[in-house]
A and B are shown apart, each in its own frame.
Chain A
Amino acid sequence: MTPIGAQPTPFLLSVEGLTVSFDGFKAVNDLSFYVDENEIRVIIGPNGAGKTTVLDLICGKTKATAGSITFRDKELTRMSESQIVLAGVGRKFQTPSIYEDLTVFENLEISYPRGRSVWGALTFKRDAAVRERVAEVAEIIFLKDKLHERGAFLSHGQKQWLEIGMLLIQEPDLLMLDEPVAGMSVSERIKTAELLRTIIKDRSVLVIEHDMKFVEDIAHKVTVLHQGRILSEGSMEKVQSDPKVIEVYLGH
Protein backbone atom coordinates (compact mmCIF):
# COMPACT_ATOMS: atom_id res chain seq x y z
CA MET A 1 0.00 0.00 0.00
CA THR A 2 1.44 3.34 -1.00
CA PRO A 3 0.86 6.52 0.99
CA ILE A 4 -2.42 8.01 0.04
CA GLY A 5 -2.88 11.73 -0.30
CA ALA A 6 -3.71 13.82 2.72
CA GLN A 7 -7.46 14.01 3.00
CA PRO A 8 -9.16 16.05 5.66
CA THR A 9 -10.49 13.82 8.42
CA PRO A 10 -12.37 14.72 11.57
CA PHE A 11 -9.43 13.37 13.54
CA LEU A 12 -6.29 15.15 14.65
CA LEU A 13 -4.15 12.17 13.76
CA SER A 14 -5.07 9.40 11.38
CA VAL A 15 -2.78 6.45 10.96
CA GLU A 16 -3.81 4.19 8.10
CA GLY A 17 -2.27 0.98 6.84
CA LEU A 18 1.03 1.86 8.43
CA THR A 19 3.72 -0.73 7.76
CA VAL A 20 7.45 -0.73 8.26
CA SER A 21 9.76 -3.61 7.65
CA PHE A 22 13.36 -3.95 8.71
CA ASP A 23 15.08 -6.36 6.40
CA GLY A 24 11.93 -8.39 5.94
CA PHE A 25 10.82 -8.22 9.56
CA LYS A 26 7.59 -6.27 9.87
CA ALA A 27 7.93 -4.32 13.10
CA VAL A 28 4.65 -2.56 12.40
CA ASN A 29 2.14 -4.29 10.19
CA ASP A 30 -0.84 -2.64 8.49
CA LEU A 31 -1.65 -0.55 11.50
CA SER A 32 -4.59 1.87 11.58
CA PHE A 33 -5.82 4.06 14.40
CA TYR A 34 -7.25 7.52 14.92
CA VAL A 35 -6.68 10.09 17.64
CA ASP A 36 -9.22 12.84 18.36
CA GLU A 37 -8.54 16.42 19.35
CA ASN A 38 -7.77 16.54 23.08
CA GLU A 39 -7.80 12.79 23.36
CA ILE A 40 -5.38 10.99 25.63
CA ARG A 41 -4.44 7.70 24.10
CA VAL A 42 -2.25 5.15 25.77
CA ILE A 43 -0.44 2.46 23.80
CA ILE A 44 0.41 -0.67 25.70
CA GLY A 45 1.76 -4.01 24.69
CA PRO A 46 4.46 -6.50 25.51
CA ASN A 47 8.12 -5.86 24.68
CA GLY A 48 8.83 -5.85 20.97
CA ALA A 49 5.21 -5.08 20.08
CA GLY A 50 6.32 -2.08 17.99
CA LYS A 51 5.16 0.68 20.35
CA THR A 52 8.27 2.81 20.14
CA THR A 53 8.46 2.18 16.41
CA VAL A 54 4.99 3.66 16.00
CA LEU A 55 6.14 6.86 17.69
CA ASP A 56 9.31 6.81 15.59
CA LEU A 57 7.18 6.59 12.46
CA ILE A 58 4.88 9.43 13.46
CA CYS A 59 7.70 11.81 14.34
CA GLY A 60 9.68 10.92 11.24
CA LYS A 61 12.61 9.19 12.88
CA THR A 62 11.81 6.04 10.93
CA LYS A 63 10.42 6.11 7.42
CA ALA A 64 7.34 4.04 6.75
CA THR A 65 7.45 1.25 4.18
CA ALA A 66 3.78 1.79 3.41
CA GLY A 67 0.73 3.53 4.74
CA SER A 68 -0.10 7.07 5.68
CA ILE A 69 0.01 9.27 8.75
CA THR A 70 -2.18 12.33 8.49
CA PHE A 71 -1.89 15.06 11.05
CA ARG A 72 -4.49 17.80 10.56
CA ASP A 73 -4.28 18.05 6.79
CA LYS A 74 -0.60 17.18 6.49
CA GLU A 75 0.87 13.90 5.35
CA LEU A 76 3.66 13.28 7.85
CA THR A 77 5.29 10.38 6.05
CA ARG A 78 6.63 12.82 3.46
CA MET A 79 7.97 15.39 5.90
CA SER A 80 11.31 15.75 7.64
CA GLU A 81 11.57 15.47 11.42
CA SER A 82 11.89 19.21 11.92
CA GLN A 83 8.93 19.93 9.65
CA ILE A 84 6.83 17.49 11.65
CA VAL A 85 7.77 19.33 14.82
CA LEU A 86 6.85 22.65 13.24
CA ALA A 87 3.50 21.13 12.25
CA GLY A 88 2.83 20.61 15.96
CA VAL A 89 4.04 17.16 16.99
CA GLY A 90 6.31 16.84 20.02
CA ARG A 91 8.17 13.72 21.08
CA LYS A 92 9.76 12.63 24.29
CA PHE A 93 12.23 9.79 24.15
CA GLN A 94 12.36 6.79 26.37
CA THR A 95 15.74 7.61 27.89
CA PRO A 96 16.04 11.24 28.90
CA SER A 97 17.36 13.15 25.95
CA ILE A 98 18.63 16.55 27.06
CA TYR A 99 21.74 18.58 26.35
CA GLU A 100 24.18 17.78 29.14
CA ASP A 101 26.61 20.60 28.34
CA LEU A 102 23.95 23.29 28.46
CA THR A 103 22.12 24.75 31.43
CA VAL A 104 18.47 24.06 32.19
CA PHE A 105 17.68 27.56 30.95
CA GLU A 106 19.50 26.98 27.67
CA ASN A 107 17.90 23.57 27.25
CA LEU A 108 14.47 25.13 27.51
CA GLU A 109 15.41 28.14 25.43
CA ILE A 110 16.43 25.97 22.50
CA SER A 111 12.96 24.47 22.46
CA TYR A 112 11.29 27.88 22.55
CA PRO A 113 9.38 28.10 19.28
CA ARG A 114 11.23 31.00 17.68
CA GLY A 115 14.42 31.40 15.66
CA ARG A 116 14.62 27.89 14.35
CA SER A 117 16.29 28.74 11.05
CA VAL A 118 20.02 29.36 10.81
CA TRP A 119 19.48 33.09 10.45
CA GLY A 120 16.83 33.08 13.16
CA ALA A 121 19.21 31.38 15.56
CA LEU A 122 21.99 33.86 14.78
CA THR A 123 19.77 36.85 15.46
CA PHE A 124 17.77 35.33 18.31
CA LYS A 125 17.36 37.75 21.20
CA ARG A 126 16.79 36.51 24.74
CA ASP A 127 14.02 38.98 25.47
CA ALA A 128 11.57 39.24 28.33
CA ALA A 129 9.04 36.96 26.65
CA VAL A 130 11.60 34.16 26.43
CA ARG A 131 12.76 34.63 30.02
CA GLU A 132 9.22 34.66 31.35
CA ARG A 133 8.16 31.59 29.46
CA VAL A 134 11.28 29.66 30.47
CA ALA A 135 10.74 30.61 34.12
CA GLU A 136 7.10 29.61 33.88
CA VAL A 137 7.90 26.18 32.46
CA ALA A 138 10.78 25.66 34.90
CA GLU A 139 8.31 26.22 37.69
CA ILE A 140 5.93 23.62 36.28
CA ILE A 141 8.68 21.01 35.95
CA PHE A 142 10.00 21.60 39.49
CA LEU A 143 13.31 23.01 38.23
CA LYS A 144 13.02 26.70 38.89
CA ASP A 145 15.92 26.61 41.37
CA LYS A 146 18.11 24.80 38.87
CA LEU A 147 17.80 27.16 35.91
CA HIS A 148 21.53 27.71 35.67
CA GLU A 149 22.58 24.19 36.54
CA ARG A 150 24.18 22.14 33.78
CA GLY A 151 22.02 19.34 32.41
CA ALA A 152 24.69 16.80 33.26
CA PHE A 153 24.30 17.54 36.98
CA LEU A 154 20.58 16.70 37.12
CA SER A 155 19.23 13.46 38.53
CA HIS A 156 17.57 10.93 36.25
CA GLY A 157 14.10 12.10 37.25
CA GLN A 158 15.00 15.75 36.80
CA LYS A 159 16.32 15.00 33.34
CA GLN A 160 12.99 13.40 32.46
CA TRP A 161 11.17 16.48 33.74
CA LEU A 162 13.48 18.75 31.81
CA GLU A 163 12.73 16.91 28.62
CA ILE A 164 9.02 17.13 29.34
CA GLY A 165 9.54 20.86 29.89
CA MET A 166 11.34 21.15 26.58
CA LEU A 167 8.30 19.65 24.92
CA LEU A 168 5.94 21.84 26.85
CA ILE A 169 7.65 25.05 25.79
CA GLN A 170 7.36 23.86 22.23
CA GLU A 171 3.55 23.92 22.63
CA PRO A 172 2.76 20.91 20.49
CA ASP A 173 -0.80 19.97 19.56
CA LEU A 174 0.10 16.32 19.72
CA LEU A 175 2.41 15.24 22.50
CA MET A 176 4.06 11.83 22.33
CA LEU A 177 5.57 10.39 25.49
CA ASP A 178 7.57 7.20 25.61
CA GLU A 179 7.46 5.68 29.11
CA PRO A 180 7.62 8.98 30.95
CA VAL A 181 7.77 7.43 34.43
CA ALA A 182 10.18 4.61 33.68
CA GLY A 183 13.22 4.38 35.91
CA MET A 184 11.93 6.86 38.45
CA SER A 185 11.84 6.63 42.21
CA VAL A 186 8.43 6.39 43.86
CA SER A 187 8.34 10.03 44.89
CA GLU A 188 9.49 11.14 41.45
CA ARG A 189 6.82 8.94 39.93
CA ILE A 190 4.08 10.62 41.92
CA LYS A 191 5.35 14.07 41.04
CA THR A 192 5.65 13.12 37.38
CA ALA A 193 2.12 11.78 37.25
CA GLU A 194 0.96 15.05 38.69
CA LEU A 195 3.07 16.95 36.17
CA LEU A 196 1.71 14.95 33.28
CA ARG A 197 -1.84 15.55 34.39
CA THR A 198 -1.24 19.31 34.16
CA ILE A 199 0.40 19.32 30.79
CA ILE A 200 -1.91 16.94 28.96
CA LYS A 201 -4.79 19.33 29.26
CA ASP A 202 -5.88 21.04 26.06
CA ARG A 203 -3.88 18.86 23.71
CA SER A 204 -3.85 15.38 22.29
CA VAL A 205 -1.45 12.97 23.87
CA LEU A 206 -0.06 9.64 22.79
CA VAL A 207 1.61 7.78 25.66
CA ILE A 208 3.47 4.51 25.88
CA GLU A 209 3.35 3.30 29.45
CA HIS A 210 3.62 0.11 31.46
CA ASP A 211 2.37 1.46 34.76
CA MET A 212 -1.24 0.22 34.65
CA LYS A 213 -2.42 2.33 37.51
CA PHE A 214 -1.15 5.40 35.76
CA VAL A 215 -2.72 4.28 32.50
CA GLU A 216 -6.06 3.68 34.12
CA ASP A 217 -5.84 7.10 35.63
CA ILE A 218 -5.30 9.15 32.50
CA ALA A 219 -6.30 7.15 29.45
CA HIS A 220 -9.38 8.02 27.46
CA LYS A 221 -8.73 5.11 25.21
CA VAL A 222 -6.16 2.32 25.15
CA THR A 223 -4.59 0.63 22.14
CA VAL A 224 -2.96 -2.74 22.69
CA LEU A 225 -0.21 -3.65 20.24
CA HIS A 226 1.11 -7.12 19.72
CA GLN A 227 3.67 -8.11 17.10
CA GLY A 228 3.17 -4.92 15.15
CA ARG A 229 -0.61 -5.21 14.94
CA ILE A 230 -3.50 -3.92 16.97
CA LEU A 231 -4.72 -6.60 19.34
CA SER A 232 -7.44 -4.62 20.99
CA GLU A 233 -8.65 -1.06 21.29
CA GLY A 234 -11.11 0.78 23.48
CA SER A 235 -11.69 1.85 27.03
CA MET A 236 -9.47 0.50 29.76
CA GLU A 237 -12.18 -1.84 31.08
CA LYS A 238 -12.97 -3.16 27.65
CA VAL A 239 -9.30 -3.85 26.91
CA GLN A 240 -8.67 -5.41 30.28
CA SER A 241 -11.45 -7.90 29.83
CA ASP A 242 -10.50 -8.78 26.27
CA PRO A 243 -9.48 -12.47 26.28
CA LYS A 244 -6.89 -11.86 23.54
CA VAL A 245 -5.13 -9.30 25.71
CA ILE A 246 -5.20 -11.54 28.73
CA GLU A 247 -3.75 -14.33 26.64
CA VAL A 248 -0.83 -12.20 25.49
CA TYR A 249 -0.10 -10.77 28.89
CA LEU A 250 -0.55 -13.87 30.96
CA GLY A 251 1.25 -16.22 28.64
CA HIS A 252 0.21 -19.13 26.53
Chain B
Amino acid sequence: MFGEYSLGDLGSIFAMQGFAGLILFSVYLLMALGLAIIFGQMGVINMAHGEFMILGAYVTWLTAEFFTSHLPALFSIYFFVAMALAFCAAGALGMLVEWALIRRLYKRPLDTLLATWGLSLILQQVYRSVFGPREVGVTLPDWMMGSLPITDVIEVQINGLFVMGLTVIITIAVFLMIFHSRFGQQIRAVVQNRQMAGAVGIDTEKVDRLTFGLGCGIAGVAGSAFTMIGSTGPTAGQLYIVDTFLIVVFGGAASLFGTIASAFTISQTQSTLEFFLSGSMAKVITLLTVVAILMLRPQGLFTLKVRR
Protein backbone atom coordinates (compact mmCIF):
# COMPACT_ATOMS: atom_id res chain seq x y z
CA MET B 1 0.00 0.00 0.00
CA PHE B 2 3.00 2.31 0.35
CA GLY B 3 4.21 1.57 -3.17
CA GLU B 4 2.95 4.62 -4.98
CA TYR B 5 4.47 7.13 -2.56
CA SER B 6 8.02 8.42 -2.48
CA LEU B 7 9.96 8.30 0.76
CA GLY B 8 9.60 12.03 1.29
CA ASP B 9 5.88 11.85 0.67
CA LEU B 10 5.61 9.06 3.20
CA GLY B 11 7.44 11.12 5.78
CA SER B 12 5.04 14.02 5.30
CA ILE B 13 2.04 11.75 5.34
CA PHE B 14 3.12 10.14 8.58
CA ALA B 15 3.79 13.51 10.14
CA MET B 16 0.47 14.93 9.02
CA GLN B 17 -1.59 11.97 10.04
CA GLY B 18 0.38 11.93 13.25
CA PHE B 19 -0.66 15.47 14.05
CA ALA B 20 -4.19 14.78 12.87
CA GLY B 21 -4.23 11.93 15.36
CA LEU B 22 -3.38 14.25 18.23
CA ILE B 23 -6.96 14.99 19.20
CA LEU B 24 -7.85 11.34 18.89
CA PHE B 25 -4.86 10.58 21.08
CA SER B 26 -6.01 13.17 23.61
CA VAL B 27 -9.54 11.79 23.74
CA TYR B 28 -8.25 8.23 23.98
CA LEU B 29 -5.73 9.14 26.63
CA LEU B 30 -8.17 11.07 28.80
CA MET B 31 -10.80 8.36 28.47
CA ALA B 32 -8.22 5.69 29.17
CA LEU B 33 -6.74 7.55 32.13
CA GLY B 34 -10.18 7.66 33.72
CA LEU B 35 -10.76 4.01 32.99
CA ALA B 36 -7.30 3.00 34.10
CA ILE B 37 -7.78 4.71 37.42
CA ILE B 38 -11.12 3.02 37.95
CA PHE B 39 -10.16 -0.38 36.56
CA GLY B 40 -6.53 -0.50 37.54
CA GLN B 41 -6.98 0.92 41.00
CA MET B 42 -10.41 -0.46 41.85
CA GLY B 43 -10.86 -3.47 39.57
CA VAL B 44 -14.17 -2.14 38.37
CA ILE B 45 -15.20 -2.24 34.74
CA ASN B 46 -17.20 0.83 33.89
CA MET B 47 -19.04 0.20 30.65
CA ALA B 48 -20.80 3.55 30.99
CA HIS B 49 -17.51 5.39 30.72
CA GLY B 50 -18.34 6.54 27.20
CA GLU B 51 -21.58 8.04 28.47
CA PHE B 52 -19.67 9.99 31.12
CA MET B 53 -17.53 11.34 28.31
CA ILE B 54 -20.62 12.32 26.35
CA LEU B 55 -21.99 14.05 29.43
CA GLY B 56 -18.86 16.18 29.36
CA ALA B 57 -19.44 16.84 25.67
CA TYR B 58 -23.03 17.94 26.30
CA VAL B 59 -21.90 20.18 29.13
CA THR B 60 -19.35 21.75 26.79
CA TRP B 61 -22.06 22.29 24.20
CA LEU B 62 -24.41 23.83 26.77
CA THR B 63 -21.66 26.13 27.98
CA ALA B 64 -20.94 27.23 24.43
CA GLU B 65 -24.64 27.96 23.88
CA PHE B 66 -24.82 29.87 27.13
CA PHE B 67 -21.80 32.01 26.35
CA THR B 68 -23.08 32.70 22.84
CA SER B 69 -26.39 34.02 24.07
CA HIS B 70 -25.46 35.60 27.40
CA LEU B 71 -21.77 36.35 27.52
CA PRO B 72 -20.66 36.76 23.91
CA ALA B 73 -17.81 39.01 25.08
CA LEU B 74 -16.22 36.17 26.98
CA PHE B 75 -16.76 33.56 24.29
CA SER B 76 -13.07 33.19 23.67
CA ILE B 77 -12.51 31.65 27.08
CA TYR B 78 -15.67 29.57 27.32
CA PHE B 79 -13.77 26.37 26.64
CA PHE B 80 -11.89 26.56 29.93
CA VAL B 81 -15.12 27.06 31.83
CA ALA B 82 -16.70 24.21 29.90
CA MET B 83 -13.92 21.82 30.81
CA ALA B 84 -14.15 22.63 34.48
CA LEU B 85 -17.90 22.19 34.39
CA ALA B 86 -17.58 18.94 32.43
CA PHE B 87 -15.19 17.60 35.03
CA CYS B 88 -17.52 18.54 37.87
CA ALA B 89 -20.68 17.22 36.23
CA ALA B 90 -19.21 13.87 35.21
CA GLY B 91 -17.40 13.53 38.52
CA ALA B 92 -20.52 14.23 40.52
CA LEU B 93 -22.56 11.76 38.50
CA GLY B 94 -19.76 9.25 38.95
CA MET B 95 -19.83 9.60 42.71
CA LEU B 96 -23.58 9.26 42.72
CA VAL B 97 -23.36 6.08 40.65
CA GLU B 98 -20.66 4.67 42.90
CA TRP B 99 -22.79 5.29 45.92
CA ALA B 100 -26.00 3.95 44.42
CA LEU B 101 -24.69 0.97 42.51
CA ILE B 102 -21.00 0.20 42.21
CA ARG B 103 -20.16 -0.17 45.88
CA ARG B 104 -22.63 -3.04 46.14
CA LEU B 105 -20.78 -4.96 43.45
CA TYR B 106 -17.08 -4.69 44.27
CA LYS B 107 -16.61 -8.40 44.68
CA ARG B 108 -18.35 -9.25 41.41
CA PRO B 109 -16.47 -7.63 38.53
CA LEU B 110 -18.43 -9.37 35.77
CA ASP B 111 -21.69 -8.24 37.30
CA THR B 112 -20.41 -4.68 37.56
CA LEU B 113 -19.72 -4.85 33.88
CA LEU B 114 -23.33 -5.79 33.11
CA ALA B 115 -24.79 -3.29 35.55
CA THR B 116 -22.76 -0.41 34.15
CA TRP B 117 -23.82 -1.46 30.67
CA GLY B 118 -27.40 -1.07 31.86
CA LEU B 119 -26.46 2.33 33.22
CA SER B 120 -25.05 3.29 29.83
CA LEU B 121 -28.34 2.40 28.13
CA ILE B 122 -30.26 4.49 30.64
CA LEU B 123 -27.93 7.45 30.20
CA GLN B 124 -28.21 7.21 26.43
CA GLN B 125 -31.98 7.35 26.67
CA VAL B 126 -31.84 10.25 29.10
CA TYR B 127 -29.58 12.18 26.72
CA ARG B 128 -31.96 11.42 23.88
CA SER B 129 -34.94 12.66 25.88
CA VAL B 130 -33.21 15.76 27.19
CA PHE B 131 -31.04 16.85 24.25
CA GLY B 132 -32.90 15.19 21.40
CA PRO B 133 -31.71 12.42 19.12
CA ARG B 134 -29.95 14.82 16.76
CA GLU B 135 -26.22 15.27 17.10
CA VAL B 136 -24.99 18.68 18.21
CA GLY B 137 -21.72 20.39 17.42
CA VAL B 138 -19.94 23.23 19.18
CA THR B 139 -18.43 26.33 17.67
CA LEU B 140 -14.86 27.01 18.61
CA PRO B 141 -13.61 30.46 19.50
CA ASP B 142 -11.75 32.10 16.66
CA TRP B 143 -8.32 31.73 18.19
CA MET B 144 -8.63 27.98 18.23
CA MET B 145 -9.52 27.73 14.54
CA GLY B 146 -7.05 27.40 11.73
CA SER B 147 -3.72 25.74 11.59
CA LEU B 148 -0.04 26.45 11.83
CA PRO B 149 2.02 25.63 8.78
CA ILE B 150 5.20 23.84 9.74
CA THR B 151 6.53 22.99 6.29
CA ASP B 152 5.01 23.34 2.83
CA VAL B 153 2.98 20.19 3.20
CA ILE B 154 2.61 19.73 6.94
CA GLU B 155 0.08 21.78 8.85
CA VAL B 156 -0.95 21.42 12.46
CA GLN B 157 -4.39 22.38 13.68
CA ILE B 158 -4.31 24.83 16.57
CA ASN B 159 -7.13 23.16 18.46
CA GLY B 160 -5.21 19.90 18.21
CA LEU B 161 -2.16 21.46 19.81
CA PHE B 162 -4.33 23.11 22.42
CA VAL B 163 -6.10 19.93 23.42
CA MET B 164 -2.81 18.08 23.35
CA GLY B 165 -1.29 20.62 25.71
CA LEU B 166 -4.23 20.38 28.06
CA THR B 167 -4.06 16.61 27.99
CA VAL B 168 -0.42 16.71 28.97
CA ILE B 169 -1.24 19.04 31.86
CA ILE B 170 -4.09 16.84 33.06
CA THR B 171 -1.97 13.72 32.77
CA ILE B 172 0.81 15.26 34.80
CA ALA B 173 -1.73 16.43 37.35
CA VAL B 174 -3.12 12.91 37.63
CA PHE B 175 0.38 11.54 38.07
CA LEU B 176 1.16 14.01 40.78
CA MET B 177 -2.12 13.30 42.47
CA ILE B 178 -1.67 9.54 42.46
CA PHE B 179 1.99 9.47 43.37
CA HIS B 180 2.62 12.59 45.38
CA SER B 181 -0.52 13.57 47.19
CA ARG B 182 -2.08 12.33 50.37
CA PHE B 183 -5.21 11.30 48.48
CA GLY B 184 -3.12 9.35 45.98
CA GLN B 185 -1.31 7.65 48.81
CA GLN B 186 -4.66 6.61 50.24
CA ILE B 187 -5.84 5.30 46.88
CA ARG B 188 -2.70 3.20 46.54
CA ALA B 189 -3.02 1.99 50.11
CA VAL B 190 -6.58 0.85 49.51
CA VAL B 191 -5.57 -0.88 46.27
CA GLN B 192 -2.80 -2.81 47.95
CA ASN B 193 -4.61 -3.85 51.08
CA ARG B 194 -8.14 -2.70 51.63
CA GLN B 195 -8.48 -4.16 55.12
CA MET B 196 -5.20 -2.82 56.34
CA ALA B 197 -5.94 0.61 54.89
CA GLY B 198 -9.24 0.59 56.74
CA ALA B 199 -7.50 -0.49 59.91
CA VAL B 200 -5.09 2.43 59.85
CA GLY B 201 -7.93 4.87 59.63
CA ILE B 202 -8.43 5.47 55.92
CA ASP B 203 -12.09 5.84 55.05
CA THR B 204 -11.97 3.26 52.26
CA GLU B 205 -15.53 3.93 51.13
CA LYS B 206 -14.80 7.59 50.69
CA VAL B 207 -11.59 6.82 48.81
CA ASP B 208 -13.51 4.49 46.49
CA ARG B 209 -16.12 7.13 45.82
CA LEU B 210 -13.58 9.85 45.14
CA THR B 211 -11.52 7.58 42.92
CA PHE B 212 -14.55 6.65 40.88
CA GLY B 213 -15.58 10.29 40.70
CA LEU B 214 -12.09 11.30 39.60
CA GLY B 215 -12.08 8.71 36.81
CA CYS B 216 -15.48 9.83 35.60
CA GLY B 217 -14.52 13.49 35.88
CA ILE B 218 -11.52 12.94 33.62
CA ALA B 219 -13.88 11.21 31.17
CA GLY B 220 -15.95 14.40 31.27
CA VAL B 221 -12.89 16.43 30.26
CA ALA B 222 -12.29 13.90 27.49
CA GLY B 223 -15.81 14.79 26.38
CA SER B 224 -14.82 18.44 26.06
CA ALA B 225 -11.93 17.43 23.83
CA PHE B 226 -14.22 15.09 21.95
CA THR B 227 -16.44 17.96 20.78
CA MET B 228 -13.58 18.99 18.50
CA ILE B 229 -13.37 15.77 16.54
CA GLY B 230 -16.93 14.54 16.49
CA SER B 231 -20.48 15.64 16.90
CA THR B 232 -22.10 14.88 20.20
CA GLY B 233 -25.03 12.49 20.14
CA PRO B 234 -26.68 10.18 22.65
CA THR B 235 -24.82 7.07 21.46
CA ALA B 236 -21.51 8.61 20.43
CA GLY B 237 -19.80 7.42 23.59
CA GLN B 238 -20.48 3.78 22.96
CA LEU B 239 -18.20 3.80 19.92
CA TYR B 240 -15.22 4.62 22.07
CA ILE B 241 -15.62 2.20 24.90
CA VAL B 242 -14.06 -0.85 23.23
CA ASP B 243 -11.08 1.11 21.95
CA THR B 244 -10.53 2.64 25.33
CA PHE B 245 -10.70 -0.65 27.14
CA LEU B 246 -8.23 -2.16 24.74
CA ILE B 247 -5.90 0.77 25.38
CA VAL B 248 -6.07 0.23 29.12
CA VAL B 249 -5.55 -3.52 28.87
CA PHE B 250 -2.90 -3.17 26.17
CA GLY B 251 -0.94 -0.76 28.31
CA GLY B 252 -1.07 -3.06 31.30
CA ALA B 253 -3.94 -2.32 33.60
CA ALA B 254 -1.91 -1.17 36.56
CA SER B 255 0.47 1.06 34.68
CA LEU B 256 -0.41 4.67 33.95
CA PHE B 257 2.71 5.02 31.84
CA GLY B 258 1.59 1.99 29.85
CA THR B 259 -1.77 3.64 29.29
CA ILE B 260 -0.13 6.70 27.77
CA ALA B 261 2.15 4.65 25.53
CA SER B 262 -0.66 2.45 24.35
CA ALA B 263 -3.07 5.34 23.74
CA PHE B 264 -0.35 6.92 21.64
CA THR B 265 0.44 3.76 19.71
CA ILE B 266 -3.15 2.90 18.99
CA SER B 267 -4.30 6.38 18.01
CA GLN B 268 -1.28 6.95 15.80
CA THR B 269 -1.54 3.54 14.14
CA GLN B 270 -5.18 4.09 13.41
CA SER B 271 -4.70 7.63 12.20
CA THR B 272 -1.81 6.69 9.94
CA LEU B 273 -3.52 3.61 8.52
CA GLU B 274 -6.58 5.71 7.79
CA PHE B 275 -4.65 7.57 5.13
CA PHE B 276 -3.91 4.40 3.22
CA LEU B 277 -7.02 2.34 3.87
CA SER B 278 -10.67 3.03 4.38
CA GLY B 279 -11.50 4.14 7.90
CA SER B 280 -13.17 0.86 8.75
CA MET B 281 -10.27 -1.30 7.61
CA ALA B 282 -7.83 0.89 9.51
CA LYS B 283 -9.89 0.26 12.61
CA VAL B 284 -10.17 -3.47 11.97
CA ILE B 285 -6.43 -3.83 11.48
CA THR B 286 -5.62 -1.74 14.54
CA LEU B 287 -8.03 -3.61 16.79
CA LEU B 288 -7.05 -7.01 15.42
CA THR B 289 -3.38 -6.27 16.01
CA VAL B 290 -4.08 -5.21 19.56
CA VAL B 291 -6.22 -8.28 20.22
CA ALA B 292 -3.60 -10.55 18.69
CA ILE B 293 -0.85 -9.02 20.81
CA LEU B 294 -3.02 -9.31 23.90
CA MET B 295 -3.53 -13.00 23.16
CA LEU B 296 0.22 -13.50 23.11
CA ARG B 297 0.91 -11.18 26.01
CA PRO B 298 -2.27 -10.92 28.06
CA GLN B 299 -0.71 -8.92 30.87
CA GLY B 300 -0.30 -5.99 28.50
CA LEU B 301 2.84 -4.19 27.52
CA PHE B 302 3.97 -2.85 30.85
CA THR B 303 3.63 -4.83 34.02
CA LEU B 304 5.70 -5.68 36.99
CA LYS B 305 6.42 -9.27 37.79
CA VAL B 306 4.87 -9.74 41.18
CA ARG B 307 4.47 -12.60 43.56
CA ARG B 308 0.94 -13.91 43.38
Using a CB–CB cutoff of 8 Å, the interface residues on chain A facing chain B are: 22-23, 27, 53, 62
Inter-chain contacts of B304 with A (CB < 8 A): 23
Q: Is the interface of A mostly helix, strand, loop or mixed?
A: mixed
- Given contacts A22-B307, A23-B306, A27-B307, 7 further A-B pairs with CB under 8 A are A22-B305, A22-B306, A23-B304, A23-B305, A53-B307, A62-B307, A62-B308
Inter-chain contacts of A27 with B (CB < 8 A): 307
CB distance from B61 to the nearest CB of A (A): 47
Inter-chain contacts of A23 with B (CB < 8 A): 304-306
Using a CB–CB cutoff of 8 Å, the interface residues on chain B facing chain A are: 304-308
6 tightest A-B contacts by CB?
A: A22-B307, A23-B305, A23-B304, A22-B305, A22-B306, A27-B307
Inter-chain contacts of A22 with B (CB < 8 A): 305-307
CB distance from B159 to the nearest CB of A (A): 42
Inter-chain contacts of B306 with A (CB < 8 A): 22-23
Q: How far is the CA of A53 from the CA of B306 in the complex (A)?
A: 13
**Can you report 10 residue pairs joining A to B where beta carbons are below 8 Å apart?**
A22-B305, A22-B306, A22-B307, A23-B304, A23-B305, A23-B306, A27-B307, A53-B307, A62-B307, A62-B308
CB distance from A174 to the nearest CB of B (A): 23
Q: Which residue of B lies closest to A61 (CB)?
A: B308
Q: How far is the CA of A22 from the CA of B306 in the complex (A)?
A: 6
Inter-chain contacts of B305 with A (CB < 8 A): 22-23
CB distance from A178 to the nearest CB of B (A): 15
Q: How far is the CA of A134 from the CA of B308 in the complex (A)?
A: 32
Q: How far is the CA of A27 from the CA of B305 in the complex (A)?
A: 13
Most buried by B among A22, A27, A53: A22
Q: How far is the CA of A105 from the CA of B308 in the complex (A)?
A: 30
Q: How far is the CA of A239 from the CA of B21 in the complex (A)?
A: 67
Q: How far is the CA of A23 from the CA of B304 in the complex (A)?
A: 7
Q: How far is the CA of A22 from the CA of B304 in the complex (A)?
A: 9
Inter-chain contacts of A62 with B (CB < 8 A): 307-308
Q: How far is the CA of A22 from the CA of B308 in the complex (A)?
A: 10
CB distance from A182 to the nearest CB of B (A): 18
Q: How far is the CA of A75 from the CA of B298 in the complex (A)?
A: 27
Q: How far is the CA of A27 from the CA of B304 in the complex (A)?
A: 16
Q: How far is the CA of A62 from the CA of B306 in the complex (A)?
A: 11
Q: How far is the CA of A53 from the CA of B308 in the complex (A)?
A: 10
Q: Which residue of A lies closest to B306 (CB)?
A: A22
Q: How far is the CA of A53 from the CA of B307 in the complex (A)?
A: 9
Q: Which residue of B lies closest to A27 (CB)?
A: B307
Inter-chain contacts of B307 with A (CB < 8 A): 22, 27, 53, 62
Inter-chain contacts of B308 with A (CB < 8 A): 62
Q: How far is the CA of A213 from the CA of B158 in the complex (A)?
A: 76
